[in-house]
Amino acid sequence: MAATGGEQTSAEFIQHHMTNLSIGEGFWTLHIDTLLFSIGLGVVFCYFLWRMAKKADTGVPSWSVNLAEMAFEFIDNTVKDFFGESRRDIGSLALTIFLWVLLWNTMDLIPVSLLPDIAGQFGVPYLKIVPSTDVNATFALSITVVSLMYIYAFKANHGFFGLIKSMGTHPFEAQSLVLKIILFPINFALRIIEDFAKIISLALRLFGNLFAGELVFVLIALLPFYIQFIPGGPWAIFHILVVTLQAYIFMILTVVYMSMAESH
């Protein structure tokens, strides 16, 4: 797209749509759009589940109640597979992550210029509507998951010293006390590296897939409007699978990490 008058070049169009609305500088920069959409979507799914819970005991269930029950049973069965029983705490965490990340990702299916153009009419220079295309959001979620893993491990190992002991004896355990002492710092260092890898892999897997998908939609938006549906339609259909799969992967890995924390 060549620049003509007030029009944007292709590079400017892409940069504009991939830039967050932010305040502050450096480490203290806040991405306002990510925060607003994340909080808003969280309120949406909490309200939806609250409404479905109220409707569940009244007559024949509607399609929305059936949908909510299917999501609940799916998460509950997943938790049972790893823990051997229903767990209200783990199930609530898994359901929250699955639905929240799913809604994050679903924002990627909204036409890329729709909300930014509307916001621009009110003087908002940038608006990035997909929280999972912001690495700050995905890292915040992955750090929270790993932090909760440590809390569960702390509880399962009966305190701080039990937690440190478990971190220094897994994954390689020795029968001899001397070997345990020798291997302790190695095991402990490997465990710290492993947990940092969990944070990075959780965050970047979600961010990378959704950022790439959003970038493809932005590139499609550069095409003439009368042919955008040709590549855009199939890509949107395929992206529905990506949106759901990434939410499922994040959820299932969260349950796996929680079960590993308690097993140690």
Phi-psi region of 243 (alpha: psi -120 to 50; beta: other; left: phi over 0): alpha
Q: Please spell the DSSP secondary structure of 209-242, one letter per residue.
A: HHHHHHHHHHHHHTS-GGGTHHHHHHHHHHHHHH
Spatial CA neighbour of 186 closest among 198, 173, 195, 175 = 173
Instruction: Determine the distance from the C-alpha atom of residue 93 to the mean position of all C-alpha atoms in its chain, rounded to a whole number.
Output: 12
Spatial CA neighbour of 97 closest among 206, 236, 226, 230 = 206
Q: Let me know if 66 is a catalytic residue.
A: no
Q: Let me know if 132 is a catalytic residue.
A: no
Residue among 22, 113, 136, 205 flagged as catalytic: 205
Residue among 86, 92, 147, 201 flagged as catalytic: 201
The structure tokens listed for 231 are 């590549």
Which residues neighbour 215 within 8 Å (Cβ) at sequence distance 6 or greater?
A: 14, 18
Q: Let me know if 209 is a catalytic residue.
A: yes
Residue among 132, 187, 209, 259 flagged as catalytic: 209
Strand ranges, E, within 24-99: 30-31
Residue identified by tokens 């008058």 is 5
Q: Which residues are catalytic?
A: 201, 205, 209
